[in-house]
Structure 1
Amino acid sequence: MASPNVKHISECFIQPHYASQESKQSFYLTPTDLAMLSAHYIQKGLLFNKPPEANSPNFLDTLLAKLKYSLSLALVHFYPLAGRLVTKKEQDPHLYLVYVDCSNSPGAKFIHASLDMSISDILSPTDVPLVVQSLFDHDRAVNHDGHTMSLLTAQVTELVDGVFIGLSMNHAVGDGTSYWHFFNTWSENFQAQEKNVLISENISNPPVLDRWFLEGHGPIISLPFTDPSEFIDRFEAPKLRERMFHFSEESLAKLKAKANSECDTSKISSFQALSALLWRTITRARLLPPDQETSCRLAANSRARLDPPLPPNYFGNSIYPIRSEVIKSGELLEHGLGWAAWKLHQAVVNLNDQALKGFLTEWLQSPTVFTLRFFDPFSVMMGSSPRFDMYKNEFGMGKAMALRSGYANKFSGKVSSFQGREAGSIDLEVCLPPKVMRALESDYEFMEAASAPSYEWSS
């Protein structure tokens, strides 16, 4: 039996509540922004249980009105998200400049939709149901599509007993840190509006929109292209199963203690130990030949690693995919958890100001645009971060039941780490081909540490 479809009821565009003087200027993209032009939008969302007052006939209309108003207030501070990408070309001398025009755009998009399914239909199945991909705008869009599509869309989908709020944001404009910073600010404005204390000029953590470039470069970075067909790659993922796994605070502590004990150290973090577990067990599940090379990448926030450091609330892309030493799968599996975790720890320690600026210098000498084919099929990529404050986002319906993501940026071996609903826990979204996922589900080392997320909702 086919699943019901998500029905779009209405669409509109939201402008910043008022236009600041700064918002009339162009927002230039840095090398780490431009490198993301062929990747997908960021798509993450939160599923809320309908509160008792949802029985009121005006509940949804009131919710939508408040969401739109608080979104317009948040866009005052994050005005690039209401803009559009523009490319300026010149032949002699060559110029291929992609930037954000913040003043000639209809704004961010807002979609009201409905789905004739319940929370249990979304959360109960072992695998994340495909219908979740329809809870987001910009399905399969790449960031370069921001020339004609909104750079930000909020989609609010009403379920039988819940509400899903999904944001899709152009990844060439900001990274996960910037994404959740915006989501948190939207929620802060909504909650202040509920208390009738909102002053739109004041938010607790305003973004820093000043562009950061390597000394001697920028703000105008010309790409060595004449047409987008030279660098845009519309990657289609193979058939994947997508599952959520839960790691309790206790389980993470055991992994960390085990990894440190095996290496006679105390320097390995819980997340490094967890990443090592995924690297080892996914490699084993893939049944790779012993001489097949493999590695593990961790998406790292670079703000604090630069010297001088960027502000924590710097808005843009400041991430780098830390890569472990490339080793043979047989060697990885012959050693224990601690050995793999130490490899990751060393890679994290080695990502410093010198390494980051070296990467940027190389990029400026030969600018490239990354594609999802950049990640090889024998490795593991740990994306997102459990450090993002995801469950502080409340929109008059209490704490979210769960977090889910869309189709974007998924491939075999992509693992996204999310803050768990319970303090100190982590949820992992694991994407693997069906055969490999079945092997992982039978892996004793993995399943001893993991559990299925537990949810409670009212019917």
Structure 2
Amino acid sequence: MAATVDVLTSEVVVPAEETPAGAVWLSNLDLAARRGYTPTVYFYRANGEPGFFAADAMRDSLARALVTFYPIAGRLGLDGDGRVQIDCTGEGVVFVTARSGYVLDDLMEEFVPCDEMRDLFMPPAPPASKSSPPGVLLLVQVTYLRCGGVVLGMVLHHSIADGRSAAHFVETWASIARGASPRDAPVPPCFDHKLLAARPARTVLYDHPEYKSEPVPPARAVTASTYASAIITLTKQQVAALKARCGGASTFRAVVALVWQCACRARALPPEAETRLYSMIDMRQRLAPPLPPGYFGNAVIRTSTVATAGDVVSSPVGHAARRARAVTSQGDDYARSLVDYLEGVDTANLPRSGVSRADLRAISWLGMSLYDADFGWGAPAFMGPAIMYYSGFVYVMNAPWKDGAVALALSLEPESMPEFRKVFADEVARLTE
């Protein structure tokens, strides 16, 4: 990629008003989340209006959003027992402006989640950057493109928010930028993580293997940390045809089932090899009672199902979709069992490094308000993850044009990706024959 990015300004933005002090207690699901930052990008097409993504407007609306979402302006700290918490210090977040020679259409054509994109359009996350305050929880970069378009890059610490909460914050910030009062946030945030506290009498009813480190056989080991990534779009008609093949399975289950089949084939896994499909399930509406609509934190749990590669590849795609259903149908008793289980383990030592080269980890961003991030100049032309972390990662997202199309962001071993693209394209073409 020839274009570069030049930083124009870098500053710390604090809440526009005084905010509550004290600490926010983090649940076991917060502590079990990946330790680090989640970088995401939003691409905006120039619309010719004056003040398009003006730095002052973005900075001032961010400062007002931090009044409502005040824990984001704090820092991670420890309570008296050494447990990680959010210290609500109001110290602020990093806000960067930059300029790039990129043209939006070229960028969208070239874009795949990778380290290079993160480095171009995100402020470097601590501790890599000496200029960023230690422990900052949010870093934002507004990059002005040669064509007049804008890339908004966000780096939010995963210990304080999952994908749905991150989207909630951006949607609120955008509404404030459009002129709404911070006190009229679309959905007020709830920071009561005690709603996900372990029960006094811990009751672990399930095994929860996804939270245990197990020795990986050599044949299944990840041989390198590098990956190839891709963004693939399925039309509304292709999604409908796939769901019909899967007996009316949900969009997420049907799409993931096809990806799982094609990945097993592209990886040339022997028929007897075990392959595990991991997922992350949002439990907000599955708990009894459900969490408040504005619950801000981590409310997702890891689940998985295992099969042989031969079983996944040789059976109809509906069979894999039924297995995917087993991964995504857990309810309150499962979530409460997991929270109780995590109370008895050191969450600092949970497995977080990736999956083996026979496995996939699929995450649904379907139905999230990703394209409601309209700061007053129109909805984003694209939104997605900036990196994939490791090979075997799959995001299933709504495509930008809101017509039922689906976008996949996925990563595989570099040697497997060309074959995956071919196999997946062939299978999708068959859907509408």
Alpha-carbon separation, structure 2, partners of 1:406 and 1:237:
20
The residue identity in structure 2 corresponding to 1:19 is E
The residue identity in structure 1 corresponding to 2:41 is G
The residue identity in structure 1 corresponding to 2:163 is G
Equivalent residues in 2 for 1:25-424, closer than 5 Å = 25-36=22-33, 38-53=34-49, 59=51, 63-88=54-79, 95-103=81-89, 105-125=90-110, 127=112, 131-133=116-118, 134-139=120-125, 148-161=134-147, 162-191=149-178, 193=179, 198-211=180-193, 212=195, 213-216=197-200, 238-260=225-247, 266=248, 268-324=249-305, 326-349=306-329, 351-369=330-348, 370-407=350-387, 409-423=388-402, 424=404
Q: Quote how far apart the aligned CAs of 1:179 are.
A: 0.4
Q: 1:71 to 1:185 in 2, by over 3 A?
A: same
Q: 1:203 to 1:383 in 2, by over 3 A?
A: same
Q: Is the 8 A contact 2:13 2:93 kept in 1?
A: yes
Structure 1 length as normaliser, TM-score?
0.82
Q: 1:3 to 1:367 in 2, by over 3 A?
A: same
Structure 2 length as normaliser, TM-score?
0.86
Alpha-carbon separation, structure 2, partners of 1:77 and 1:210:
14
Alpha-carbon separation, structure 2, partners of 1:140 and 1:290:
44
Alpha-carbon separation, structure 2, partners of 1:279 and 1:412:
13
Which deviates further from its counterpart, 126-135 or 72-81? 126-135
Identity of aligned residues (%): 24
Alpha-carbon separation, structure 2, partners of 1:81 and 1:295:
35
Alpha-carbon separation, structure 2, partners of 1:34 and 1:11:
30
Alpha-carbon separation, structure 1, partners of 2:95 and 2:269:
45
Alpha-carbon separation, structure 2, partners of 1:170 and 1:236:
28
Alpha-carbon separation, structure 2, partners of 1:449 and 1:127:
26
Superposed CA deviations along residues 277-303 of structure 1, whole A, max 9, x for unmatched, are 011101110011111101212221011
Q: Quote how far apart the aligned CAs of 1:127 are.
A: 4.9
Q: Is the 8 A contact 1:246 1:450 kept in 2?
A: no
Counterpart of 2:219 in structure 1 is none
Secondary structure at the aligned position of 2:303 is classed as: strand
Secondary structure at the aligned position of 1:372 is classed as: coil
Superposed CA deviations along residues 356-392 of structure 1, whole A, max 9, x for unmatched, are 1111111111232334325222111112412111112
The residue identity in structure 1 corresponding to 2:189 is P
Alpha-carbon separation, structure 1, partners of 2:114 and 2:35:
23
Counterpart of 1:13 in structure 2 is 12
Q: 1:131 to 1:346 in 2, by over 3 A?
A: closer
The residue identity in structure 2 corresponding to 1:52 is G
Unmatched 5+ stretches in structure 1: 90-94, 219-234, 261-265, 452-459
Q: 1:385 to 1:128 in 2, by over 3 A?
A: closer
Superposed CA deviations along residues 432-459 of structure 1, whole A, max 9, x for unmatched, are 12221100111154442799xxxxxxxx
Q: Quote how far apart the aligned CAs of 1:346 are.
A: 2.6
Alpha-carbon separation, structure 2, partners of 1:18 and 1:126:
38
Q: 1:236 to 1:109 in 2, by over 3 A?
A: farther
Q: 1:129 to 1:361 in 2, by over 3 A?
A: closer
* Alignment of 1:425 onto 2:395: no
Alpha-carbon separation, structure 2, partners of 1:129 and 1:152:
20
Secondary structure at the aligned position of 2:139 is classed as: strand
Q: 1:410 to 1:438 in 2, by over 3 A?
A: same
Q: Is the 8 A contact 1:386 1:420 kept in 2?
A: no
Alpha-carbon separation, structure 1, partners of 2:152 and 2:406:
21
The residue identity in structure 2 corresponding to 1:186 is W
Q: CA RMSD in A?
A: 2.6
Alpha-carbon separation, structure 2, partners of 1:108 and 1:183:
14
Secondary structure at the aligned position of 2:261 is classed as: helix
Q: 1:87 to 1:173 in 2, by over 3 A?
A: same
Q: Quote how far apart the aligned CAs of 1:140 are.
A: 8.6
Q: Quote how far apart the aligned CAs of 1:314 are.
A: 0.6
Alpha-carbon separation, structure 2, partners of 1:81 and 1:236:
37
Q: Quote how far apart the aligned CAs of 1:27 are.
A: 0.9
Alpha-carbon separation, structure 2, partners of 1:157 and 1:449:
41
Q: Is the 8 A contact 1:278 1:446 kept in 2?
A: no
The residue identity in structure 1 corresponding to 2:101 is D
Which deviates further from its counterpart, 114-123 or 76-85? 114-123
Alpha-carbon separation, structure 2, partners of 1:51 and 1:236:
46
The residue identity in structure 2 corresponding to 1:179 is A
Q: 1:131 to 1:367 in 2, by over 3 A?
A: closer
Q: Quote how far apart the aligned CAs of 1:137 are.
A: 2.5
Alpha-carbon separation, structure 2, partners of 1:41 and 1:384:
18
Counterpart of 1:230 in structure 2 is none
Unmatched 5+ stretches in structure 2: 203-221
Alpha-carbon separation, structure 2, partners of 1:359 and 1:377:
26
Q: 1:7 to 1:446 in 2, by over 3 A?
A: farther
Alpha-carbon separation, structure 2, partners of 1:28 and 1:403:
31
The residue identity in structure 2 corresponding to 1:24 is A
Superposed CA deviations along residues 403-425 of structure 1, whole A, max 9, x for unmatched, are 23223x52111011222112211
Q: Is the 8 A contact 2:228 2:412 kept in 1?
A: yes
Q: Quote how far apart the aligned CAs of 1:429 are.
A: 0.6
Alpha-carbon separation, structure 2, partners of 1:334 and 1:321:
27
Alpha-carbon separation, structure 2, partners of 1:63 and 1:217:
54
